[in-house]
Amino acid sequence: MRWIIAFHIVFMVTWFAGLFYLPRLFIYHRPLPAGEEATHLGIMERRLFLIMTIGMTLTIGLGIWLVAGWFWPLARWLEIKLALVGLVVLYHFYCLYLIRRLAHGECPHSDRFLRWFNELPGLLLILIVILAVVHPA
């Protein structure tokens, strides 16, 4: 079981590293006119999203394995943690929406929004780790 936990954490770190960096690419990409630099950022965004998706898939897959084999019935802290992970998954796929919009030269959000958007995964990560380690609820 410790191996499963270890790899769950490794893939979670991979996923969150992408979640921290991808919105920063959006901030750089947003003001650029169509051209070589915007195209290059679009390629970086898509490749990073692929790596993030692999990390997300393996994190969730191993998390399901842990829940099914170890944490049953679910404790309250784990229910809250899983709800927060659900928010992270929504955030992940909203990033895909933004990648597609930016690829068409559009962005529905201001720089200010994107800068705040960039902070959200950090807040969610703090809450998730506290729940997983401290079990406060």
Compute the half-sphere exposure of residue 19: CA atoms within 13 Å on the CB side of its CA: 27
Domain span at 122: 2-134
For the cut 90, the answer to whether the pLDDT of residue 134 exceeds it is yes
Q: What is the pLDDT of residue 36?
A: 84
**How large is the average pLDDT for residues 70-81?**
83
At 50, the pLDDT band (50, 70, 90 cuts) reads very high
Domain count of the fold of the chain: 1
Which range is least confidently modeled, 27-31, 47-51, 76-80?
27-31
* Identity at 62, one-letter amino acid code: L
Contact between 19 and 92 (Cβ < 8 Å): yes
Report yes or no: 46 and 26 within 8 Å, Cβ to Cβ. Answer: no
In this prediction, residue 33 carries a pLDDT of 76
pLDDT band at 65 (very low <50, low <70, confident <90, very high): very high
Q: What is the pLDDT of residues 90-130, one digit of tens each?
A: 999 999 999 999 998 888 899 899 999 999 999 999 999 99
Which pLDDT belongs to residue 99? Answer: 95
Angle between helices 76-103 and 120-134 (to 10 degrees): 160
pLDDT at 108: 85
pLDDT, residue 70, reads 67
Which residue has 């380690």 as its token pair?
133
Give the pLDDT mean for 7-16.
97
Q: Structure pTM?
A: 0.92
- Give the pLDDT score at 137: 67
Cα–Cα distances in Å, from 20 out to 15, 33, 64, 88, 121? 9, 24, 24, 12, 7
